[in-house]
């Protein structure tokens, strides 16, 4: 990570014209601090009368020192998958609903960023996972995920059948609506709804979470992120694998999904004083009096 930040990219929520005013306000503020500001090319389509250079995400990944994402958790997930392999650190400004990944608000972003540009921030590394789909032992698809990789049936399909191996060792055969392979970041997303535990983001682990398993003894299991997970589809009809709900691929019987931790971690920057436990209390309403 390069510091001080000399070139900063601003990225807004996709197809959200209401992002234009606060994003331009932020761009003008950063420019006044002596920072070179560039804007994501898709975001720039919603901006009028601005003088900032528009770059694609690929160009941003090669040229900037920091990216500030204005949107919700979905926007942050998508941008993290794209920019983290390039080593670009990220700051999130929340303009969504829940905001697990976006610390700053529209009201406090200038004050918080003033301190962060002066070096007053916390660097947090978070796990990414990569998955490959093999068909007849030939790779036919690959993608990254920040939250989870999910194998699932369609709404009209029956239970799916699959085999799970960890580091080559047979673990189980399962019949279920699907299987979630979640990172600690994803443990507060789909995995949490499916009954899995919350994992602190500093842990280097993955959790495998059956979705509505036919056999009730099939429970979530936590394994090392250094493990190689192999999921073989024994029966497949209208079946897909999804990555953070942004990318998906249609599966066939006997396809194998190989999931591993990615060598490059996501770098999230937080204001000083940031606490993950405070975030849990606030977002999950644990601080409410019964």
Residue 184 lies in a domain: yes
CATH number, position 168 = 2.60.200.30
Same domain for 116 and 33? yes
pLDDT at position 235 is 77
Same domain for 134 and 48? no
Q: What is the DSSP letter of 185?
A: G
Same domain for 112 and 143? no
> Which pLDDT tens digit goes with each residue over 103-134?
899 999 999 999 999 999 999 999 999 999 99
Give mean pLDDT, residues 28-54. 92
> Which pLDDT tens digit goes with each residue over 239-267?
899 999 889 999 999 999 999 999 999 99
Q: How does 212-233 read in b/e, with b if 16+ C-beta sit within 10 Å?
A: ebeeeebebebbebebebbbbb
CATH number, position 48 = 3.40.50.10330
Residue 290 lies in a domain: no
Residue 288 lies in a domain: no
pLDDT at position 157 is 64
Q: Active-site residue numbers? A: 73
Same domain for 243 and 229? yes
Same domain for 250 and 196? yes
> What is the number of domains present in the chain?
2
Same domain for 117 and 215? no
Same domain for 246 and 199? yes
Output the pTM of the full model: 0.92
Same domain for 158 and 54? no
Residue 84 lies in a domain: yes
Same domain for 86 and 193? no
Residue 55 lies in a domain: yes
Query: Residue 14 to residues 42, 62, 241, 269: CA-CA distances in angstroms?
Result: 7, 21, 23, 22
Residue 30 lies in a domain: yes
- β-pairing, 53-55 vs 36-40, is parallel
Q: How confident is the model at residue 92 (pLDDT cuts 50, 70, 90)?
A: very high
HSE, CB side, 13 Å, CA atoms: give it for residue 13.
20
What totals of helices (H) and strands (E) does the chain contain, helices first? 7, 19
Same domain for 108 and 12? yes
Tokens of 63: 């040229």
Domain range for 139: 129-261
Residue 289 lies in a domain: no
pLDDT at position 17 is 84
> Which pLDDT tens digit goes with each residue over 125-181?
999 999 999 999 999 999 999 999 999 987 666 789 999 999 999 999 999 999 999
Same domain for 91 and 202? no
Same domain for 96 and 167? no
Residue 2 lies in a domain: no
């Amino acid at each position: 990570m390069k510091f001080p930040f000399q070139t900063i990219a601003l990225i807004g929520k996709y197809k959200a014209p209401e992002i234009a005013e606060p994003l331009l306000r932020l761009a003008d503020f950063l420019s006044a601090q002596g920072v070179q500001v560039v804007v994501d090319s898709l975001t720039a389509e919603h901006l009028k009368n601005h003088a900032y250079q528009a770059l694609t995400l690929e160009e941003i990944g090669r040229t900037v020192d920091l990216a500030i994402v204005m949107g919700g958790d979905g926007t942050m997930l998508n941008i993290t998958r794209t920019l983290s392999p390039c080593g670009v650190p990220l700051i999130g400004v929340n303009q969504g609903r829940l905001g697990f990944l976006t610390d700053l608000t529209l009201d406090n972003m200038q004050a918080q960023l003033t301190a962060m540009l002066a070096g007053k921030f916390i660097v947090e590394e978070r796990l990414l996972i990569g998955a490959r789909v093999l068909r007849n032992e030939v790779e036919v698809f690959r993608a990254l995920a920040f939250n989870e990789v999910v194998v699932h049936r369609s709404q009209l399909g029956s239970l799916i059948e699959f085999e799970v191996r960890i580091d080559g060792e047979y673990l189980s055969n399962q019949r279920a609506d699907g299987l979630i392979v979640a990172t600690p970041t994803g443990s507060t997303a789909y995995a949490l709804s499916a009954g899995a535990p919350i994992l602190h983001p500093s842990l280097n682990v993955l959790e495998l979470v059956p979705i509505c398993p036919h056999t009730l003894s099939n429970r979530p299991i936590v394994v090392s992120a250094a493990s190689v997970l192999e999921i073989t589809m024994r029966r497949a009809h209208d079946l897909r694998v999804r990555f953070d709900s942004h990318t998906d691929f249609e599966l066939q019987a006997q396809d194998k999904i190989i999931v591993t931790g990615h060598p490059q971690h996501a770098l999230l920057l937080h204001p000083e004083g940031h606490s993950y436990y405070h975030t849990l209390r606030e977002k999950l309403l644990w601080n409410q009096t019964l």
